Structure 1
Amino acid sequence: MAVLLMNGLVARGERVTLILARREGPYLDDLDPAIELVDLGNRRSISSIRPLARWLRSARPDVLVSHLTHVNVAAALANRLARAGIPHVAVEHNQMGQNYALLTNRSVKVAYRLARFVYPGIARIVSVSQGVEAAVLAFTRGRAHNHQVIHNPVVTDGLVALSGEAPEHRWLADGADIPVLLGCGRLHHQKGFDVLISAVRQVLDDRPVRLVILGEGPLRPQLEAQLSSLNLGDHVDLAGFSRNPFAMMRAADAFILSSRWEGLPTVLIEALACGANIVATDCPSGPMEVLEGGKFGRLVPVDDSDALAKAICAALDAPLDSASAMARASDFTLDRAVDNYMALFDHLQPRRGKPSRG
């Protein structure tokens, strides 16, 4: 999402510099060529504090933007060290308390604990959903004076165009009159695919159905064992990564989000943009907000396979209106996110000419 936002800012004529602790990562090739890259030559955020402070003192960008808690804390400390008076925007993407409980890296855990002391001095804490904002305030014991919500940029013209392509999975192209469900995400405890698989076992007692799960992750062996124990090998496909999940979102009979927690679930918004018939858990946070309390998709309790199975059957019997779903997705476009960030930058630092965003 950060790459999409930076590219969107450049398209509006903004000067953007991307500061990296170390110049590596899978998304560098997706950056607009106009984005300047600065490599601090470090592997960890904490060891990048002094080099970043030196860069800030020298370059004097109009605004400093950082993402993720441990990076936000390091950037805030570097900004204080630089003493350059640069407005800092720190972006939070997920449930801080949930993330902290799962951390194993000691330095990252320290950064989370420091957040409650550092965040009050940051110019603006941006959360990607109302639920994330509530979680940040609770974890940091903060006050709302420097917080606001800006949704991630998700929907683009490219996404919509890809959704119109032919779906690549055989179950969506074989002409069989068997409903196909779709789930997308990392094969991780957070995503609740074990609960979804159990729900599909129950749905099969009522009608034929197939489930495709896109994504990879550490729980593949456990999920494969679950499929074997429930004799679901012919009904559920752990299909791995897909070049174009959007065509499958459009073609599937229902899209299922079974997560135990989220920040702002990107795949849910992508499914809306594809006109999908949605069933989602009412997890913290995002689905309730994105689906407006169930107006644009059915909501069920977390970790409840019975309720999920019933909602899937209801969705297959009475699909929700795809045009309404696509209209709701327009609230999460790249253009809208860029507008909101530019308005925030202007508020924090009234601009003269074309500014540099660090």
Structure 2
Amino acid sequence: MRIGMVCYPGLGGSGIVASELADRLARRGHRVYLFATELPMRLPEGSPVQFMPVELPNYPVFPAPLYTLALAGALERAIREESLELIHTHYAIPHAVAAELAAEGRIPLVHTLHGTDVTLLGIDPAYQTLTARALQKAAAVTAVSQNLAQQAQRAFGVSPQVIYNAVDTERFRPNLEARRYYAAPDEFLLVHASNFRAVKRVGDIVHVFAKIRQKLKARLVLVGTGPERAEALSIAHSLRVDDSVTSLATAKNPEAIIGAADVFLLASEYEGFGQSGLEALACGVPVVATRVGGVPEWLTPEVGRLVEFGDLEAFAQAVVELLTSPQLEQMRLAARNHAQAHFNPELITDQYEALYRRAHQRDLEAASPA
């Protein structure tokens, strides 16, 4: 098929999922065009995917660049010039509306919901009505967790198919040799990776780390960048743990850092899925995370711990218990096995291909005369 894939290019889970899915589909022989404002960070080098930059003209008459219209125009041109047969958007706002504007019923549309496009922006009156209308008209809607699918039904009146995220366990694998770059031999290494938006609660991660440091020798590595990065580092300074906190801007190879960790920390207020945590499991790194959104659907007691959101004492205690547990090495093996068994990229890609075939077939049947 000739598939148009739409995503945000940053380190958020939606961009990661879209980029890696596009690459796998292209390697299976599909012609995949990836639309984003810049080259997505996680699109593999040498990928057969054709990148289609979405240009954002900035005219003084407008208060801001018109991303929705620019994307719709890029998709409409690709439908005409590249004969796209299907468009798959990741993160509904504003991608679902832009795709609907571009397609006008000519080709099937598939939309994947990832989290705050439902739970935050999705319920904003500025976006909710038009987004709901676009999703209801789509050939298919998917969600990355059961929890998110339930919330989407309430917010938009749709019933998404749940297709979980995948993780490449060949790329994300243990890397204990790299520990020496980030921690001394007698220190535990804790890692958090995200896009540092407010919902990720990176400040809570730092507060938890300060509590852990009262009991154990440890270091914290924060991977990524975003609006809350400076605040998190300010908190580290105020708690006098900044000498044990390392902040790394967006890493080209995050697996090298995550794979060196003893425990991965995820303190989010909400996660549609929690891709970074799954990547940690693939690296053989147990995860301690808040019991929110879709996280409990992949984080079991055999591979990590769930704590209630906002209970920083319980969070710190769970980390300390894992780090000092004689079962830690066994849990590392279980974490990697869990990721390999349940979130295999080829199985997930099969599910999307089957969805595309059904959407395309329904479109052909609808277009044929009675």
Q: 1:143 to 1:242 in 2, by over 3 A?
A: closer
- Structure 2 residue aligned with 1:178: 187
Corresponding residue number in structure 2 for 1:201: 210
- Matches of 2:291 and 2:205, distance apart in 1: 14
What is the RMSD of the two structures over their aligned residues, measured on CA atoms? Answer: 2.9
Identity of aligned residues (%): 27
Q: 1:33 to 1:234 in 2, by over 3 A?
A: closer
Tell me the distance in 2 between the aligned counterparts of 1:36 and 1:242: 23
Contact 2:54 2:74 in 1 (8 A): yes
Secondary structure of 1:314's partner?
A: helix
Shift of 1:11: 1.3
- The one of 255, 264, 276 equivalent to 1:255 is 264
- Structure 2 residue 349 is matched with structure 1 residue 328: no
Structure 1 residues 75 and 178, CA, compared in 2 at 3 Å: closer, same or farther? same
1:290 to 288, 298, 317: 298
CA distance, structure 2, for counterparts of residue 253 and residue 164 of structure 1: 11
Give the letter aligned to residue 56 of structure 1: I
Whole-Å Cα distance in 2 between the matches of residues 54 and 101 of structure 1? 28
Partner residue, 2:245:
236
Query: CA offsets per residue over residues 4-27 of structure 1, 9 Å max, x none?
Result: 11111121122223356x6x4344
- CA 1:97 to 1:339, structure 2 compared with 1: closer, same or farther past 3 Å? closer
Contact 2:121 2:127 in 1 (8 A): no
SS in 1 for 2:177: coil
Look up the equivalent residue of 1:158 and give its one-letter code. Answer: R
CA gap of 1:250–1:51, structure 2 versus 1, over 3 A, is closer
Match of 1:271 among 253, 262, 280: 280
Normalising by structure 1, report the TM-score. 0.82
Q: TM (normalized to structure 2)?
A: 0.79
- The Cα shift of 1:275 comes to 0.6
Matches of 2:192 and 2:221 in 1, distance apart?
6
1:25 and 2:39 equivalent?
yes
Higher relative contact order (CA 8 A, sep 6+): 1
- The amino acid of 1:288's aligned partner reads P
1-structure distance, mates of 2:288, 2:52: 43
CA distance in 2, matches of 1:37, 1:252: 33
Q: Deviations over 1:145-204 (max 9, x none)?
A: xx20112232242333xx4473266333x32x1222111123332221211221222223
Gaps of 5+ in 1: 104-108, 352-358
- Cα deviation digits, residues 224-282 of structure 1 (max 9, x gap): 22122211123322233444332333332211111111222111111000111221111
1:3-82 residue pairs with structure 2 within 5 A? Answer: 3-19=19-35, 24-27=38-41, 30=44, 34-36=48-50, 44-49=67-72, 52-53=75-76, 55-56=78-79, 60-69=83-92, 70-80=94-104
User: C-alpha distance in 1, partners of 2:102/2:205?
Assistant: 44
* Cα shift readout 1:72-128 (whole Å, capped 9, x = no counterpart): 121123322xx42x221111111334431898xxxxx74443112222121110112
Per the alignment, residue 312 of structure 1 pairs with: 319
The CA deviation at 1:342 is 0.9
Q: Which residue in 2 is equivalent to 1:119?
A: 135
In 1, Cα distance between equivalents of 2:133 and 2:122: 19
Paired with 1:197 and 1:99, the residues of 2 have a C-alpha distance of 24
Q: 1:53 to 1:201 in 2, by over 3 A?
A: closer
Cα displacement (A) at 1:311: 0.6
SS of residue matched to 1:218: coil
Q: Distance in 2 between matches of 1:37 and 1:210?
A: 39
Separation in structure 2 between the aligned mates of residue 51 and residue 348 of structure 1, nearest angstrom: 22
Flag the 1:183–1:17 CA change in 2: closer, same or farther, 3 A.
closer
1:149 aligns with 2:162: yes
Q: Which residue identity is paired with 1:73?
A: V
Q: CA–CA distance in 2 between the matches of 1:239 and 1:61?
A: 39
Q: Distance in 1 between matches of 2:19 and 2:48?
A: 13
Amino acid at match of 1:191: K
CA contact (8 A) 1:189 1:219 kept: yes
